[in-house]
A and B are shown apart, each in its own frame.
Chain A
Amino acid sequence: MGIAVSGISKNFGDFVALSDVSLDVPTGRLTALLGPSGGGKSTLLRIIAGLEYPDSGTVLIEGCDATWLRPQKRQVGFVFQHYAAFKHLSVYRNVAFGLEIRRRPKAEIRKRVHELLELVHLEQFADRLPSQLSGGQRQRMALARALAVQPEVLLLDEPFGALDAQVRKELRDWLRTLHDEMNVTTVFVTHDQEEALEVSDEIVVINHGRIEQVGTPTELYDRPANDFVMTFLGPVTNLDGRPVRPHDIEVLADPHPEGVPATVVRVQRVGFEVRAELTAGESRPWVQLTRAQADDLDLQPERQVWLRTSGAATRG
């Protein structure tokens, strides 16, 4: 069941945000909506949350038609990019907000809030104001707040977008662990392909208001449905006029019937990885190798080699 979106269209004036989008998100999965800014992924998330309404189409949440339901009637938790912390309330009161609105008994609220604060490692900050927390802590508080009302669906809009790289990486791993513990159906929006590949069970690539492809990270990486998905997910170079992953190009020291002759232009060592730029006729591909491979081939500028694509990783 989970979330079933069908035939959703949404325009803002002349701008087409979503055009006939259909998507099924199974219960308990962690799904990423991935795409460039302005592609419509946030709009889709906000429509699922009820913060926007579609021009046409339907949204089912756990089998119930939620298309026109007010957000407070949907069992949905929402986490915003800029935390949307209630600035005048303590961390405790922030997390308790949804429960207070639902008029739960005080003792129950206290118990639940403390459980959640423990879950997000903020027990000792219960009495602080959001302005006294770091960005990462604020976002964890926002997550606890969204989880407090036990939503059927957790929606996160670029949740780590405003954080610096180090904190982002930590929170990413932590979200994955948290999701595996809680198993709540989760959809998060990101424009960071690495984030999507690393965290999610399933990736939905959205561009220009349409879904380009849906699949597991491996499927999308290895068998992209089109050039857009291929270039958006992972590195791409060009060999003989075809897009190809730089680590899927085999470098040969000797002539080969399928090989394209090429000349090394530049060799760059980045830790264990070696990147070689070459010229092969009209195209200027670059190749990703291990240091051992590069040493075996004795790669250096001016050297003549032959290139051929290996593996299954060209798009079909």
Chain B
Amino acid sequence: MADVAAPVARTPRSGARGGRRGALDGSPAVRWALRIIAVGYVVGLVALPVVTVTRSTFGDGLQPVLDTLADPDFLSAVRLGLLVTGLSVLANTVFGVGISVLIVRYRFPGRRLLSAVIDLPVSVSPVVIGIALVLVYGRTGWFGGWLEAHGVQIIFATPALVLATVIVALPLVVREVVPVLEEAGTDQDQAALSLGANAWQRFVRITLPTIRWALAYGVVLSLARSLGEFGAVRVVSGSVAGQSQTPTLYVNDAYQEFGPIAEHAAFTAAFVLMLVSVLFIVLIAWLRPKEQS
């Protein structure tokens, strides 16, 4: 056989690092000006606030930080935040994969509409989503009265927090998975079909491994978005400390109170949220290249 295996992982790299300078690079003065603008922009918008939050958190030593971390209201907020985030990410993962497969593999009336509706939460302000939820599930809303008569409370309770978070983070998994599914096509699925695999076996053995990195990426994005959600949650939660307060609501409420203790609590909680975000960024950076392979 004349055909030879393609060399393993050969990536064209020539020129990328060779320090080639084209005519578009401009004079040294322009280059420096551009650099300063870029660095100044990032410093002003990202680095300074991060440094300020960190400094304000640890400004008075470690004790106030530890006090906040032991505060029952804070712990309760973290627990609720984890619960809400966990449930909504779980829901968005399951439905996200299902909807992605539906949109890519099946042709049905209203498919484009469904695809557009899924994107809606990106463009609609979370506050609007929160109000819409109240209008539907609130006491005077469409289903609210009926639900309450049957002993189910949604608004001002955990279910509303989960619902709001699910809606806000809805497109993230779908938008990551759909292009990968589209690119993969149905060839592998049909090959598995002809080899005797049933629908479940094809999903587990072919579809899931195909989308795994895109899915992981979407899940991390959803985690970050869900944990940081504020607007929609603000509207549908009563934000009662120790009961219906998520970490972002805790930060907001503590910050609006007066006094050094409350302020410290706000900064500490903000710092914790920020730390988690950094963790997610690292995770995303680690997942990104794998997705493209």
Residues from chain B with Cβ under 8 Å of A133 in the complex: 5-6
Find the B residue at minimum CB distance from A82. Answer: B187
**A contact set with B: CB distance below 8 Å:** 49-51, 71-72, 76-78, 80, 82-89, 97-98, 101-102, 121, 125, 128, 131-137, 142, 145-146, 148-149, 166-167, 170
A72 contacts B194, C-beta separation under 8 Å: yes
Tell me how many residue pairs across A and B have CB atoms closer than 8 Å: 85
Q: Top 10 closest A-B pairs, CB basis?
A: A84-B187, A98-B195, A136-B3, A84-B191, A78-B194, A72-B196, A134-B3, A88-B209, A101-B196, A71-B193
B3 contacts A101, C-beta separation under 8 Å: no
Find the B residue at minimum CB distance from A88. Answer: B209
Min CB distance, A252 to chain B, in Å?
A: 45
A84 contacts B188, C-beta separation under 8 Å: yes
A86 contacts B3, C-beta separation under 8 Å: no
Residues from chain A with Cβ under 8 Å of B206 in the complex: 86
Per-residue interface assignment for chain B, residues 221 to 241, with 1 indicating a CB less than 8 Å from any chain A CB and 0 otherwise: 000000000000000000000
Contacts A51-B193, A88-B209 known; list 14 others, CB within 8 Å: A80-B187, A80-B191, A82-B187, A86-B188, A89-B209, A101-B192, A101-B197, A133-B5, A134-B4, A135-B3, A136-B3, A146-B195, A166-B2, A170-B3
Docked Cα-Cα span, A125 to B8, in Å, equals 12
> Does B113 make an interface contact (CB < 8 A)?
no
Per-residue interface assignment for chain B, residues 161 to 189, with 1 indicating a CB less than 8 Å from any chain A CB and 0 otherwise: 00000000000000000000000100110
Residues from chain A with Cβ under 8 Å of B192 in the complex: 86, 97, 101
> Does B52 make an interface contact (CB < 8 A)?
no
Find the A residue at minimum CB distance from B210. Answer: A88
Which B1-35 residues sit within 8 Å CB-CB of chain A? 1-6, 8
Docked Cα-Cα span, A80 to B192, in Å, equals 12
Docked Cα-Cα span, A169 to B122, in Å, equals 53
> Does B190 make an interface contact (CB < 8 A)?
yes
* Given known contacts A87-B210, A137-B3, A72 and B187 CB-to-CB distance under 8 angstroms: no
Docked Cα-Cα span, A238 to B173, in Å, equals 63
What are 30 A-B pairs at a CB distance below 8 A? A51-B193, A71-B193, A72-B193, A72-B195, A72-B198, A76-B194, A83-B187, A84-B190, A84-B191, A85-B188, A87-B184, A87-B210, A88-B209, A89-B209, A101-B192, A101-B195, A101-B201, A128-B5, A131-B6, A132-B5, A132-B6, A134-B4, A136-B1, A145-B191, A145-B195, A148-B195, A149-B196, A166-B2, A167-B2, A167-B3
Find the B residue at minimum CB distance from A164. Answer: B3
Find the A residue at minimum CB distance from B191. Answer: A84
